[in-house]
Structure 1
Amino acid sequence: MDMVRREKPLVDKIRKQRVKEFRAIIDDDLERGEFWLENTIRVFDELSCTPEKCVKCEVSLLRYSAFQWWNTLLSVVSREKITWEFFQKKFQKKYISQRLSKYARECISTEPIMCKRFEDGLNENIRLSVGIQELREFVVMVERAWKAEELVKEKRKEDNKS
Structure 2
Amino acid sequence: MSSRGSHGRGTRLCRGRQRGARVESSFMGSMPNLETSVTVDTPTTETVSQTRTTGDETLGAIGVAPTIAEYWLEATEHIMTNLDFTPTQKLRGAESLLRDKAYQWWLTVEQGAQPEQVNWDYFKNTLEGKYVGASYVKACRREFMSLVQGDRSVVEYEAEFLRLSKNARALVASNYNKCVRFEEGLRYDLRVMIALKREQVFAVLVDKSNIMEKVKRTEREWRDR
TM-score range, shorter chain: 0.3 to 0.5
Q: Which has the higher helix share?
A: 1
- TM-score in terms of structure 1 length: 0.46
- TM-score in terms of structure 2 length: 0.34
Greater C-alpha radius of gyration: 2
